[in-house]
């Protein structure tokens, strides 16, 4: 019998798994989720696809929207923009929105100024889901 097979039969692999599990557990023991505003003033724009034509809005979309809003609020300098497009691939369905958001985040990070408050107004006039 091959020595590697004998070691596996005797539990050598099990000990390795236990050591790896303990190492990972130790590394992640201090993990704490971020709270609102914890990113300080770092610019964050979260883009969310639109709800589509369903009326009323589907509950799963509303939950996803709320999670995205929570993500945006990790920074004091944030925008949460809901696109008109219901497509998951916003970079294809609304490239102007995506490039405007990227440009605004880069500008804000380089100049240490707030995100442009007009981004949502310029691109999504009257959108009820934009915050």
Residue 70, pLDDT score: 93
Residue 71, pLDDT score: 92
Please state, in angstroms and as integers, the Cα–Cα distance from residue 54 to each residue in 37, 47, 93, 103, 108, following that order. 33, 19, 19, 31, 35
Residue 130, pLDDT score: 43
Residue 5, pLDDT score: 54
Residue 68, pLDDT score: 92
- 35: closest CA among 79, 64, 70, 63? 70
Residue 131, pLDDT score: 41
Rounded Cα distance, 97 and 124, in Å? 9
Please state, in angstroms and as integers, the Cα–Cα distance from residue 37 to each residue in 8, 46, 71, 78, 112, following that order. 49, 15, 10, 9, 16
3-state secondary structure of 60: helix
Residue 55, pLDDT score: 72
- 41: closest CA among 74, 87, 2? 74
- Residue 47 φ/ψ, nearest 5 degrees: -100, 130
- Supply 61's token pair: 């979309």
Q: What is the DSSP letter of 47?
A: E
- Supply 116's token pair: 């442009």
- 76: closest CA among 36, 48, 35, 111? 36
- Average pLDDT for runs of 10 along the chain of length 131: 55 76 78 85 92 79 90 93 88 90 92 76 45 41
Is the CB of residue 80 less than 8 Å from the CB of residue 131?
A: yes
């Amino acid at each position: 019998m091959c020595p590697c097979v004998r070691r596996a039969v005797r539990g050598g692999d099990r000990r390795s798994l236990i050591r790896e599990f303990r190492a990972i557990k130790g590394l992640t023991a201090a993990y704490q989720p971020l709270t609102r505003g914890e990113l300080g003033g770092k610019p964050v724009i979260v883009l969310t696809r639109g709800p589509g034509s369903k009326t009323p809005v589907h509950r799963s979309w509303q939950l996803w929207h709320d999670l995205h809003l929570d993500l945006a609020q990790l920074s004091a300098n944030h925008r949460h923009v809901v696109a008109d497009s219901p497509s998951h691939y916003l970079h294809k369905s609304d490239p102007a929105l995506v490039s405007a958001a990227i440009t605004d985040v880069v500008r804000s990070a380089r100049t240490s100024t707030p995100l442009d408050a007009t981004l949502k107004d310029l691109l999504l006039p009257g959108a009820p889901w934009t915050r």
